[in-house]
Amino acid sequence: MKEEKTILQVRDLSFFYESDPEREILSGITFSIFPKSITAVIGLSGCGKSTLCQILCGIIPQCIAGTITGEVRVAELDPRTEPLSQMAVTIGYMMQDPDRQLFASTVEDELAFGPENLMLPPGEIRRRVDEVMDLLEIRHLALKNPGRLSGGQKQLVAAGALLTMEPDILIMDEPVSHVDAQGRKIVLGLMKKLRATGKTLLVVEHDYEQLDFADQWLVIENGRLRDFGAPEEIRKKGGLL
């Protein structure tokens, strides 16, 4: 049988923020992830979940300074040194608060912004925007102002704006914590749909019970990897906090 290759590898990762050089935020973290899977990144507030995600997409250390030791590879790229423009077409980062990410006056413009920055031909931009609107079933919102949508719809548009860059990997930072029940249903459905279309997802979430359908849970405690494996295995072992 052919062995499947991992898409993301982290080996013995440790990290200090430049603004707080005495405090180790992440310590000796090792894991790898197979493509087309969902990984829930879970742990108590302040344990280092967002820091880890920002290292994976290069925001740390390229925009926020700090010292990283260990190895990180994302689709064979080193996010420490790879230009952020290249990282953005490899791994999308959906922020905790979609209002910080959405700025265009229509949903269509929001979705077109990334590919426009890549200087793609107009026909290709149109194709990507149409494809993503169909995938997310948001064509009816095309001319709406993203800022006036419901919480769940905003999450869809924020995801859509990243998906038009056609990254293989998507990180979602607490996408269900701040939406109502209807929004939660939309966002959880989106995750399953993206996995089915071949994307690899990392989802940071406090409320891990909602992510029972994830392929694995990555549990962080005080900057250390406490557990990594299938949800039922972790439950059985009592690996939760």
Q: Which two tokens stand for residue 133?
A: 């609107």
Cβ atoms within 10 Å, residue 215 = 17
Q: Is 19 in the site for ligand ATP (CB under 6 A)?
A: yes
Beta-bridge mates of residue 26: 15
| Binding flag, residue 107, ligand ATP (CB under 6 A) | no
Stretch that binds ligand ATP, among 18-26, 107-115, 126-134, 187-195 (CB under 6 A): 18-26
Residue 40 binds ligand ATP, judged by CB under 6 A: no
- Whether 129 contacts 111, CB under 8 Å: yes
Nearest to 201 by CA among 184, 220, 219, 214: 214
Specify the residue, 152 or 223, whose C-beta has the smaller distance to ligand ATP: 223
Interface region with ligand ATP, contact rule CB under 6 A, candidates 29-37, 41-49, 156-164, 208-216: 41-49
Should residue 47 be labelled a site residue for ligand ATP when binding is judged by CB under 6 A? yes
The Cα-based distances of 146 to 98, 106, 109, 153, 160 in angstroms read: 10, 6, 10, 8, 11
User: Nearest approach, Cβ of 220 to ligand ATP (angstroms)?
Assistant: 7
Quote the least distance from Cβ 185 to ligand ATP, whole Å.
22
CB 107 within 8 A of CB 157: yes
For residues 55 to 74, the per-residue mask of contacts with ligand ATP, x marking binding by CB under 6 A and - elsewhere, is ---------x----------
Distances (CA, A) of 174 to 33, 84, 164, 203: 19, 22, 21, 7
Sole binder of ligand ATP in the list 51, 155, 164, 216 (CB under 6 A): 51
Where along the sequence are the contacts to ligand ATP (CB under 6 A)?
Answer: 17, 19-20, 25, 43, 45-51, 64
